[in-house]
Amino acid sequence: MKICVLPGDGIGPEIMEQALRVLEAVRGDGFDFVVEKALIGGCAVDATGTPYPEATSKLAKEADAILLGAVGGPQWDSLPREQRPERGLLAIRKELNLFANLRPAILYPELANASTLKPEVVSGLDILIVRELTGDIYFGQPRGIREENAERVGFNTMVYSESEIRRIGKVAFEAARKRGKKLCSVDKMNVLECTQLWRDVMIELSADYPDVELSHMLVDNAAMQLVRAPKQFDVMVTGNMFGDILSDEASMLTGSIGMLPSASLDANNKGLYEPSHGSAPDIAGKGLANPLATILSAAMMLRYTFNLEAHATRIETAVKKVLAAGYRTGDIYEAGTRSVGTKEMGDAVIASL
Ligand code: NAD
C-alpha cells in the first residue's frame, strides 16, 4: 500500500512524525506499506515557487492514500493568492476529485470539560458528518452580481444532479454500515426543490441498505438538535453548504481542535486524510502540538481506504486508553492530568498499542 505523506508547514512535520511511528507500530496482519514524502504548502513555495509542485501531484496521483499535516503560516500571507499555501490544498482536492468529506466529532468522556456544552449533553459524543465537497451552490452556474433596475443583484445557483447525490449517499450509507447503522439526511425540502431531489434520491438509495435506518431532518432543525441533543445522531449526510456549517458546529461541540481527524474520498475510496486544525504557527517547532488528530486521521485511512477495520480500531482504542490514563498536551490540559509534549504523546500511544 502506497502512502503519500505531505507533512506541510508549522506543526505539520512534528505531528506527522508521530502518526508515522504509530503506523509503523501496527504494520503487519495484512497491513504493509511504503511511504513517499513530498512538499505541499509554504515549504513547497519556498523550495519550488508553487504550493502544489508537479512532483507532489505525481506522487499523490500514484498513491493509494495521502496523509497530510497542515499548511500555512504568517510568512506566506503576503504572497499573491495563487502562491498561498492554502492553494496547494484546494489544488490537490480538486485534482483528485475528492467529493466526500468525512468529519467525525468525538468527545472522549475524559475531555468533556473542554466543551462549552454541559458534560452530560456531550460526554461520549461520537458522530460522523458526511459533506458533499465538489457541488452545490458553491460551484453552481450561473452566478455573479449584475445590474438590474438600477441596482446590483447578487445570485448563485444551487444545483445537484442525481448522480452526484447518489455517489455521496453511497459513501454515507457505507460509513453508517461500519458504525451505528443510523443515517440522518439533512435537507431543506420544504423550500428548495434541489434538496427535494436530494431527499428522493436518498430514499431510493436506502432500498440497497436495508440494514441502515434512514431518517431526514430539515437543516434548521439539525442545527438546533446538534446543540440540544447531539448524541441522537450517528452519521449525518448533507450537501456542500449545509455541511460546511454543520461540520464546523459539530467540531466545536468537542472543544478540542487537536483531537479531530478528517477524510476526503473519491469514488474509489482513495482518500486524503488530515487533521481538522491548521499549522498552529504559534507553537510550531516547540514539541507542544497534539499529534492525536493526525494519528486518528491515519486510523481513518486504514478504515476507509485500506478496509483494515481491526487496525483502525486498535489505534483508536490506544488513543482512548492514553486519555483515560491522563496524558494531555497543552491544548487539552486540565489540573490533575499529566502534561506531555508531542513526542511523549506519540510514545504513550505506541506503548498502549
Ligand atoms: P490553527 O488550527 O492552526 O490554530 C488555532 C489554535 O489552535 C492555535 O492557538 C493553535 O496553537 C491551536 N492548535 C491547533 N492545532 C493544534 C494541535 N494539534 N495541538 C495543539 N494546539 C493546536 O488555526 P489558525 O491559527 O487560524 O491558522 C494557522 C495557519 O494554518 C494559517 O496559515 C491558516 O491558513 C492555516 N490553516 C491550515 C489548515 C489546513 O492545513 N487544513 C486549516 C486551517 C488553517
77 carries an active-site annotation: no
- pLDDT at residue 93, rounded to an integer: 87
Cross-strand partners of 216: 185
Query: What pLDDT sits at residue 342?
Result: 98
Residue nearest to atom 5 of ligand 1 (CA): 280
Question: Above 90 in pLDDT, residue 222?
Answer: yes
- CB of 122 within 6 A of ligand 1: the answer is no
Rounded CA gap, 16 and 202, in Å? Answer: 37
Per-residue pLDDT, 113: 84
Q: Is 331 in the pocket of ligand 1 (CB under 6 A)?
A: yes
Is residue 51 within 8 Å of residue 44, measured between CB atoms? yes
Phi, psi of 296 (to 5 degrees): -70, -30
- CA–centroid distance, 289 to ligand 1, in Å, is 10
Flag whether pLDDT at 59 surpasses 90: yes
Number of neighbours of residue 182 by Cβ within 10 angstroms: 16
Ligand 1 closest atom vs CA 41:
40
140 lines ligand 1 (CB under 6 A): no
Q: How far is the CA of 334 from the centre of ligand 1 (A)?
A: 21
**Cα–Cα dist 240/330, whole Å:** 33
User: Residue range 286-299: average pLDDT?
Assistant: 97
Mutate to test the pocket of ligand 1, among 257, 259, 277 (most ligand atoms within 8 A of CB): 277
What is the CA(252)–ligand 1 centre distance, in A?
14
Ligand 1 pocket test, candidate residues 43, 86, 257, 294, most atoms within 8 A of CB:
257
User: Is 136 considered catalytic here?
Assistant: no
The count of C-alpha atoms lying within 13 angstroms of the C-alpha of 133, restricted to the half-sphere facing its C-beta, is: 24
Q: What is the pTM of this model?
A: 0.91
Residue nearest to atom 20 of ligand 1 (CA): 289
Q: Is 261 in the pocket of ligand 1 (CB under 6 A)?
A: no
Residue 168 above 80 pLDDT?
Answer: yes
Catalytic residue list contains 244:
yes
Q: Which of 9, 188, 209, 266 is catalytic?
A: 188
Q: Decide if pLDDT at 344 tops 80.
A: yes
pLDDT at 345 over 80: yes
Q: Give pLDDT tens digits for 92-120.
A: 988 999 999 999 999 988 888 888 899 99
SS (H, E, C) 167-235: HHHHHHHHHHHCCCCEEEEEECCCCCHHHHHHHHHHHHHHCCCCCCEEEEEEHHHHHHHHHHCHHHCCE
CA 106/CA 259 separation, integer angstroms: 8
Domains of the chain: 1-99+266-353 (3.40.718.10), 102-263 (3.40.718.10)
Q: Does the pLDDT at position 56 exceed 90? A: yes
Q: Answer whether residue 322 shows pLDDT above 80.
A: yes
